[in-house]
Amino acid sequence: MAVTANQEKMEKIVALCKRRGFVFQSSEIYGGINGFWDYGPLGVTLRRTVEGLWWKYMVTDRDNIEGLDSTIICHPRVWHASGHVAQFSDLMVDCLECKKRFRDDQLQEKGVCPACGSKKMTEPREFNLMMKTYVGPVADEEHIAYLRAESCQPIFVDFDQVRMSSRQKLPFGIAQTGKAFRNEINPRFFTFRSREFVQMEMEFFCRDEESMTWYDYWHAERLKFYSEVLGIPVEKLKIHHHEKLAHYAKAALDIEFEFPFGWGEIEGIHHRGTWDMTRHAEYSGQNLQYFDQERNERYFPTVVETSCGLDRMILAVLCNAYDEDKAPTQKEGKEEDVRVVLRLAPILAPVQVAILPLSNKLNEKAEPLYSELRKSFRCDYDVTGNIGKRYRRQDEIGTPFCVTFDFDSVNDNAVTVRERDSMAQERVPLDQLKAYLAGKIIG
């Protein structure tokens, strides 16, 4: 089968992630484990940066959102109440010839194995996606516990604790970020569909008659986050309004990004009605109704949720940033070469400033500059290889600014700042460098 340009682009992004230590297969020396990914030095920096920006945008900058960090393993009744134990499943089919398993809804042709072409397939069967473990020394039915399949359920369970300790009144939200686990039948598209991933969720509790206004508000806010904070152009995003809704929901939509492998959901905005609170009240036997003092009335708050996957967001950021252009080369007989460049917004780049002394002899003067700049920015210090190669290494990981300390710097107290995208170079006096970079990086 011919490899399309988009497939090739995706393969290049995966290769770059591995080569430069953004993301690679978990347990690789044992042959890897399907659906699990490790984030290397640059990847973990990018991941923490994006998570931090989400937290600032959703929690720190708002008075009406509180944070939570709950456990991954909860009382198993939580997952009975949420409906996951009974219903969180996909229909799957097995190939009787090659023994591979597929999601029924992803088969191109019903009853034909996409791996070996056999027509000997089982009937579709339910396959629960919850991951199980045992709590305590006895591995029996009674001690089964589940790794959370979504990070939001503990928010509903802890609603009263958070509300009382923070003295919030409706409308207000509770947010948390953290790991979720799903035994996906068919993990694929790199980190897009993983079995262990991070979710960033916010549950907004309000009066039912105001819930659609809040739904529209959060829809607009979340789009703003992608374009204004992450720098993803709106034309690379698409809204998919759900036609089939859960019986308790008034609306639901997905925010999709155009990945090289096609449009894929990165975030869901869901009207969840009073479903979760009602179910937890029923299963726990606790009164979880909210007392509205203004109205002198008790009721279950209605919930509007914003739910995104951090790994999918990182993948969208990387796919959006990946580019190739032409740059001067030092190879003999060639003037230009293909340059791989990650056009990451400076606020996201794992390395924001690279300090590159032209020679080892300049270390004594250049190192103090590095020590000073790293107090304000994420910095790298690289003295190995010719300067052209060093620029390329930084371009490939998305470093927006390279500062070259050369022999003239010693006398004129200035350095050359090279901007990643335009490759334009500017001489900047050392005493103005920090302010110059801050203006470009922080804005």
- The stretch near ligand GAP (CB under 6 A) out of 74-82, 195-203, 221-229, 409-417 is 195-203
**Binding of ligand GAP at residue 146 (CB under 6 A)?**
no
Residue 147 interacting with ligand GAP (CB under 6 A): no
- E-strand ranges in 182-300 read 196-206, 237-241, 252-259, 262-273, 290-292, 297-299
Q: How far is the CB of 104 from ligand GAP (least distance, A)?
A: 17
308 binding ligand GAP? (CB under 6 A) = yes
SS3 175: strand
When binding is defined by CB under 6 A, the residue of 177, 194, 320, 404 that contacts ligand GAP is 194
What is the sign of the dihedral through the CA atoms of 423, 427, 430 and 433? negative
Question: Is 258 one of the binding residues for ligand GAP (CB under 6 A)?
Answer: no
Per DSSP, the three-state class of 267 is strand
Compute how many residues bind ligand GAP; rule: CB under 6 A: 19
Q: Pick from 94, 201, 380, 395: which binds ligand GAP (CB under 6 A)? A: 201
Closest to ligand GAP by CB, 172 vs 197, is: 197
Task: Report yes or no: 183 and 161 within 8 Å, Cβ to Cβ.
Answer: no
> The tokens of 421 are what?
């995208």
Amino acid at 269: I
Closest CA to 66 of 160, 139, 194: 160
Q: Binding pattern to ligand GAP, positions 38-57, x when CB under 6 A? A: --------------------
Give the up-direction half-sphere exposure of residue 75: CA atoms within 13 A in the CB hemisphere: 9
The helix or strand, by DSSP H or E, that contains position 436, with its residue range, turns out to be helix 430-441
Question: Is the Cβ–Cβ distance between 301 and 206 less than 8 Å?
Answer: yes
Q: Which of 311, 380, 382, 395 binds ligand GAP (CB under 6 A)?
A: 311
Task: For ligand GAP, give the closer residue by CB, 194 or 404.
Answer: 194
418/355 Cα distance (integer angstroms): 11
Site for ligand GAP in 148-177 (CB under 6 A): 150, 152
Distance CA 120, CA 141 (A): 34
Q: Using the rule CB under 6 A, which residue among 307, 320, 352, 399 binds ligand GAP?
A: 307
User: Does 267 sit near ligand GAP (CB under 6 A)?
Assistant: yes
Q: How far is the CB of 146 from ligand GAP (least distance, A)?
A: 14
Residue 141 DSSP symbol: G
Instruction: Give the residue among 286, 300, 51, 347 at the shortest CA–CA distance from 175.
Output: 51
Task: Answer yes or no whether residue 416 interacts with ligand GAP by CB under 6 A.
Answer: no
Q: Which of 84, 182, 280, 420 binds ligand GAP (CB under 6 A)?
A: 182
Structure tokens at 383: 């003295």
Buried/exposed 421-437: b ≥16 CB within 10 Å, e otherwise: eebeeeebebeebbebb
Residue 390 is a binding residue for ligand GAP (CB under 6 A) = no
- CB of 308 vs ligand GAP, minimal distance in Å: 5
Among 84, 193, 393, 420, binds ligand GAP (CB under 6 A): 193
Q: Does 197 bind ligand GAP (CB under 6 A)?
A: yes
Give the nearest residue (CB) to ligand GAP: 309
Instruction: Name the residue nearer to ligand GAP (CB basis): 267 or 380.
Output: 267
- Is 266 one of the binding residues for ligand GAP (CB under 6 A)? yes
Between 199 and 399, CB nearer to ligand GAP: 199
Give 275 or 322: the residue with its C-beta nearer to ligand GAP. Answer: 275
Classified as helix, coil or strand, 239 is strand
| Helix (H) / strand (E) containing 319 | helix 310-321
Which lies closer to ligand GAP via its Cβ, residue 316 or residue 348?
316
Find where tokens 């042709």 sit: 109
Closest to 262 (Cα-Cα) out of 310, 315, 308 = 315
Is residue 36 within 8 A of residue 196, CB to CB? The reply is yes
Which are the contacts of 15, defined by CB distance < 8 A and separation ≥ 6? none
Q: Measured from the CB atom, is 188 or 389 closer to ligand GAP?
A: 188
CB of 440 to ligand GAP, least distance (A): 31
**Which residues lie near ligand GAP (CB under 6 A)?**
150, 152, 182, 184, 193-194, 197, 199, 201, 265-268, 305, 307-309, 311-312
